[in-house]
Structure 1
Amino acid sequence: MFKQYIGWRFTLVAVAVVIIVATIWFVNNLSEKIQHEETKNVATWVEANQELLQAPEDANINLAVTIVTTNTSIPLILTDDHGKIIDTRNIDSAEVLRNPRYLEKELASFKKQHPPFIMAIDAKTNNYIYYGDSLLLRQVRYYPYIQLLVVALFIGVVLFALSTTNRATQNQVWVGMAKETAHQLGTPLSSMEAWLEILREKEENIPFVTELAKDVDRLKLITDRFSKIGSVPNLEERNLVVQVENMMTYIRKRAPQKVSFSLQSADPEVMAMISPPLFDWVLENLLKNALDAMEGTGAISVLIENHTTHITIDVTDTGKGVPKVLQDKIFNPGFSTKKRGWGLGLSLARRIIQDYHKGRLSVKWSEPNKGTTFRIWLRK
């Protein structure tokens, strides 16, 4: 399937390249033909002017006059032996009035485009005719490139719209799946709570009922998190130091003994508006990823910094690191380097921080076999 997808995309790109190359080749070939014809027309125009200068008074000059007067598209500039401009044809007179140096710039441009034609006035005097490309030739030469650019922009807009639509559809699927999961968990949780109440009636059941109650509460928290996906959560002002410390305590109890935890914050109180259940979900995901990356041995440190306009929370581990080529992909839905899991953890974590807390979640630093730092950025 993947190979077919790659092959399909390659075929489309190859066809597009062939069309572009063929269009450019055809346009260049056509512009060269038009340019050759314009050069011939200028040469004919020069010969007609030469004939008018040298014709006797009784000569028939109708043809020469017709040739001279029919050139209404090719711009011409006539100079003397010293390069002084004597006359012009088909030059924008309005631009000449606005810019006194316009003719000089046009003459310099014409000299670069074509060699001049020489028209002998007498035995010692020559005039030089410089000419440029007509408006038609310029349009033929550059219009296809403009057209290709417009088509490329149109295709880009269409692809962006399709991508946005697909992303919105995926979001709806994930939201629906999360809410349905929360709904399905609700019934057995209610039943489990009822059974716990029955078990509490006997004194000898109290020790294991207490532990079961913790697991039930945990399931209720997970259900609450899933139910909040897709809806705007209520933000509460909470102390992030306490919030992070509580989550680290929870993870520490379930982590191997060879993994050490540390929390650093210059301020004992760092207040921010958060959704506690969803924010805990993000922290739990980052801490669990750190544990998986270290494979049972290492250190996890969390640094909270309270800035003037924002707050940063850096979660650092001493695990295997994330290769640079994967650092942008790990937040994509479905992407995972683990053998199990759906690859939605980091994707949902980023969405929670960006969409609900108006912050950012990114990889601040990572090196293979040295560790990784994830950064949560929150606006005050």
Structure 2
Amino acid sequence: MVAKLFKWQSVLLLIAIGIVAFTIYYSTHLSKKIEREERQRVHEWALAVSTMAIDTSATALELANSILVNNEDMPMLITDSLEQIIDYKNIDTNNIKNNPEFLNQLLASFKNENKPIDLRLGTDPVINCKLYYGNTRLLSEVRYYPIVQLVIVALFIGLVVILITTHNKSTQNQVWAGMAKETAHQMGTPLTSLQGWIELLKDNPDNAYIIEDVEKDVERLKLVSDRFSKIGSKPKLETVEILPLIEEMVSYMKKRAPGKVNFSINNESSAATINVSKTLFNWVLENLLKNALDAMENGVGAISVELSNNNQYFYVDVKDTGKGISAANIPKVFNPGFTTKKRGWGLGLSLSKRIMNHFHNGDLVIKHSELNKGTTFRVCVPLNSEIL
């Protein structure tokens, strides 16, 4: 799924780059063409003005006047030999009235945009002037068009990626929920059968020594089934006492851990209760403690559970002194299927993170990890979670 998404992202990115590259090339070509045509028009306009000053024949005046009339979109300024503005054309007079320095500012802008054209006015004496001109609106639009298109393409690609990602996440959630419901359903029948067999075993006093252990295993299976059934639907949050909940899970894991692993609980939290799904929250704690045990080299080390809170969140930090996680693997830890163990499906941490994100509006993160020194996972539970 991830590889397919990455492939689509790559294809869309290449298409976008191709579109933008072609647009920039073609727009640059057009802008240079328009720029040459506009400069030619300015030359013609300057020649027309000079002609009218020298040749006053009807034909010359008519030709020059037609050139002058047709040039109504290009802003122009005429300066004398001292760079003083003596005339202007196609410039909004309202801007001149509102800002006395507008023409001088416009002149500075025109000097950066185009080279001036020499202009001769009058015959006796001849006045040597310079004609400065700016870009037409058409040329400006052509130049800025690639930028506008780049923004549009980027927004389009972003929207497509968001839609694909959202769709994939929705599909994954449906797969998780379906798998969880089916697992819970499949476990229901044998559990009911086992409970019936236990009742039959109780009829014989000689079976008393095995009934207790069998009942514990059945209760454990019922807990697992209950966990999977809650994954498939929105669980109900309940108010639970924090410390007894943590102590119960640590005690459970301590009995199943090698004797050389030391467990400890450090409670620095001022919060007494939190709102969680007890079944699912215990599952998260169990997964983290199991991972901490698996990280121990030769079954030797220490695991500490540290409780704290601020005004918004209650924190459970599960810290081990195991082999740690490499920097390259940290971004992959919560991906479904990722594992560095020889055994296992790599689903525990992914499920735990989903439980905290989707069912508790909290989070599960790696607070710190260092190779050969250990890892700290942090569970974040909002203190203002509403009970459903």
Fold equivalence (TM over 0.5): yes
Q: 1-side partners of 2:275 and 2:249: how far apart? A: 17
Structure 2 residue corresponding to 1:294, chosen from 274, 287, 296: 296
State the match for 1:321 in structure 2: 324
Give the deviation of 1:216 after TM superposition.
Answer: 0.9
The more displaced of 54-63 and 292-301 is 54-63
State the match for 1:225 in structure 2: 227
1:1-380 correspondence runs (5 A): 13-14=13-14, 16-56=16-56, 60-121=60-121, 125-267=127-269, 270-295=272-297, 296-380=299-383
Give the deviation of 1:146 after TM superposition.
Answer: 1.1
The answer to whether the 8 A contact 1:363-1:372 is kept is yes
Determine helix, strand or coil for the equivalent of 2:337.
coil
Give the deviation of 1:23 after TM superposition.
Answer: 2.6
For residues 129-167 of structure 1, the C-alpha deviation after alignment (integer angstroms, 9 at most, x for no partner) is 111111111111221331232122112212211211121
Give the deviation of 1:200 after TM superposition.
Answer: 2.2
Equivalent position amino acid for 2:81 in 1: D
What are structure 1's unaligned runs of at least 5 residues? Answer: none
Give the deviation of 1:361 after TM superposition.
Answer: 1.3
Determine helix, strand or coil for the equivalent of 1:61.
helix
Q: 1-side partners of 2:3 and 2:186: how far apart? A: 38
Give the deviation of 1:364 after TM superposition.
Answer: 1.0
For residues 88-121 of structure 1, the C-alpha deviation after alignment (integer angstroms, 9 at most, x for no partner) is 2222444444544433332211111112112133
The answer to whether the 8 A contact 1:270-1:306 is kept is no
CA 215–24 in structure 1, closer or farther in 2 if over 3 Å, else same: same
Give the deviation of 1:2 after TM superposition.
Answer: 10
Q: 2-side partners of 1:4 and 1:355: how far apart? A: 24
Give the deviation of 1:173 after TM superposition.
Answer: 1.3
Q: 1-side partners of 2:214 and 2:63: how far apart? A: 110
CA 71–291 in structure 1, closer or farther in 2 if over 3 Å, else same: same
Determine helix, strand or coil for the equivalent of 1:77.
strand
The answer to whether the 8 A contact 1:240-1:270 is kept is yes
The answer to whether the 8 A contact 2:303-2:318 is kept is yes
For residues 41-95 of structure 1, the C-alpha deviation after alignment (integer angstroms, 9 at most, x for no partner) is 1111111111122234767311111111211222212223333333322224444
The more displaced of 127-136 and 276-285 is 127-136
Q: 2-side partners of 1:299 and 1:175: how far apart? A: 35
Q: Which has the higher contact order (CA 8 A, sep 6+)?
A: 2
Determine helix, strand or coil for the equivalent of 2:315.
strand
Q: 1-side partners of 2:5 and 2:274: how far apart? A: 45
Q: 2-side partners of 1:104 and 1:211: how far apart? A: 96
Equivalent position amino acid for 2:73 in 1: S
Equivalent position amino acid for 1:240 in 2: I
The answer to whether the 8 A contact 1:322-1:372 is kept is yes
Give the deviation of 1:346 after TM superposition.
Answer: 1.5
**TM-score normalized by structure 1?**
0.92
Q: 2-side partners of 1:363 and 1:326: how far apart? A: 11
Q: 1-side partners of 2:98 and 2:200: how far apart? A: 97
Q: 2-side partners of 1:161 and 1:204: how far apart? A: 64
The more displaced of 185-194 and 258-267 is 258-267
**TM-score normalized by structure 2?**
0.90
The more displaced of 195-204 and 176-185 is 195-204
The answer to whether the 8 A contact 2:267-2:307 is kept is yes
* Total equivalences in the alignment: 380
Determine helix, strand or coil for the equivalent of 1:325.
coil
